[in-house]
Amino acid sequence: MSAKRVGVLALQGDVREHLAALREAGAEATTVRRRSELDAVDGLVIPGGESTTISHLLRELDLLEPLRARLAEGLPAYGSCAGMIMLATEILDAGAPGREATPLKAIDMTVRRNAFGRQVDSFEADLDFTGIDGPVHAVFIRAPWVERVGPDVEVLARAGEHIVAVRQGNAIATAFHPEMTGDRRIHKLFVSGL
């Protein structure tokens, strides 16, 4: 059986790091910047970055609606940090009027942008993560958290009382950056579900 082709939305963020993590997890990893590239993947990673900028670039490149359509059709997706924000159905503190982050509506959740604070409030923590043996070391950078989940959303991890990792169907989202740690278990969890 050949490796699944997983795209990394290459508009902003840790694109190289996610490509490396996906390859180590057994996927054929490629960048996605165009509709034809989106149409050619079996799964998609939406990396961190700035959710309002990612939304703007998706609109500028005419990728927003095609991406929403692929997700609605069941395209497996994994979003880290800003990627989590993008996969939500509702975004709190979505940004300045006219420059708001636009939800892709792949996971029934409400996410608060920059919930843990500013860049200086970034932190690291070891978390229990459902489906993964042993703690996951999590790097939080201007991270969101989940304020509400729908009935079909499974909570995978919490930082204190705050939800920081979820799954709904074949979509996974984390408020943190596993691609920065060298631990490939979350990427393997995603790839194994393709």
Specify the amino acid at residue 9. Answer: L
175: nearest Cα among 127, 134, 131, 135: 127
- The Cα–Cα gap between 72 and 103 comes to 13
Give SS3 for 147.
Answer: strand
- The Cα–Cα gap between 190 and 44 comes to 10
Summarize pLDDT for 130-145 with one digit per residue, the tens.
999 999 999 999 999 9
Note the pTM of the prediction, 2 decimals.
0.95
- The Cα–Cα gap between 148 and 185 comes to 25
99 is in an annotated binding site: no
Catalytic residue among 17, 18, 179, 187: 179
Active site residue 90: no
Domain range list for the chain: 5-193
Average pLDDT over residues 165-183: 96
pLDDT score, position 119: 79
Per-residue pLDDT band at 36 (split at 50, 70, 90): very high
112 is in an annotated binding site: no
Summarize pLDDT for 57-80 with one digit per residue, the tens.
999 999 999 999 999 999 999 999
Strands 88-92 and 154-159: unpaired
Is pLDDT of 1 > 70? no
Angle CA 79–15–84, to nearest 5: 15
pLDDT score, position 122: 86
Per-residue pLDDT band at 96 (split at 50, 70, 90): confident
50 is in an annotated binding site: yes
49 is in an annotated binding site: yes
Active site residue 60: no
Give SS3 for 47.
Answer: coil
Element (H, E) at 184: none
Active site residue 177: yes
CATH topology of domain 5-193: Rossmann fold (3.40.50)
Catalytic residue among 17, 18, 56, 177: 177
